[in-house]
Structure 1
Amino acid sequence: MFEDKLKQAFVNALSIEENEVTGELAYSQHPKWDSTAHMVLIAELESSFDIMLDTDDIIDMSSYQKAGEIIQKYIA
């Protein structure tokens, strides 16, 4: 459930295909994940998981894998 919700947030925010969302997906290494898309992603994640991310966590969210680790802190 968590993984599906996380993956869908990335698909929606970055307008990418589900198969593009892998552990290797990283900020600025994908052409659609730039600074503007990053803020859209943050909003999507906050909405999907009903959380409010701290500024440090927003800055640290540099990959799909890291996003999962950060979100887990808020929902655990």
Structure 2
Amino acid sequence: MSTNTEKLEAAFVTALDIDASAVTDDLAYNSIEQWDSTAHMILIAELEDQFDVMLDTDDIIDMSSVGKAKEILGKYELSF
């Protein structure tokens, strides 16, 4: 069974088509070419699938980095 950190990393790798080594807390929206608005929505769908949650609009808008994603998912009783 995957840890939450592994699931989070997998969601970013799949949605953004990047190498797992690029998934760090500092990775931010629009900091790389792959993380644009379209990829952001794919990422949200991946995260919702991986963690079986439904993110609210404010959380989707606020998700500006990997670190922020962990913080937001923490509100859904997930720990990293």
Q: Quote the offset at 1:23 in angstroms.
A: 1.4
> What is the RMSD of the two structures over their aligned residues, measured on CA atoms?
0.8
Amino acid at match of 2:29: Y
- Aligned equivalent of 1:8: 10
- Alignment partner for residue 60 of structure 1, among 55, 59, 62? 62
Q: In structure 1, the residue corresponding to 2:76 is in which secondary structure?
A: helix
User: How much does 1:24 deviate?
Assistant: 1.2
Question: After TM superposition, which residue ranges in structure 1, 4 or more long, deviate above 2 angstroms?
Answer: none
State the alpha-carbon separation in 2 of the partners of residues 6 and 12 from structure 1. Answer: 10
Give 1:2 deviation, angstroms: 1.1
Pairs aligned (count): 76
Gaps of 5+ in 1: none
TM-score (norm 1): 0.96
What is the CA–CA distance in structure 2 between the aligned matches of 1:6 and 1:68, rounded to whole Å?
A: 8
For 1:23 and 1:75, locate their aligned partners in 2 and report how far apart those are by CA, in whole Å: 19
Q: Which runs of 5+ in 2 are unaligned?
A: none
Q: Percent identity?
A: 61
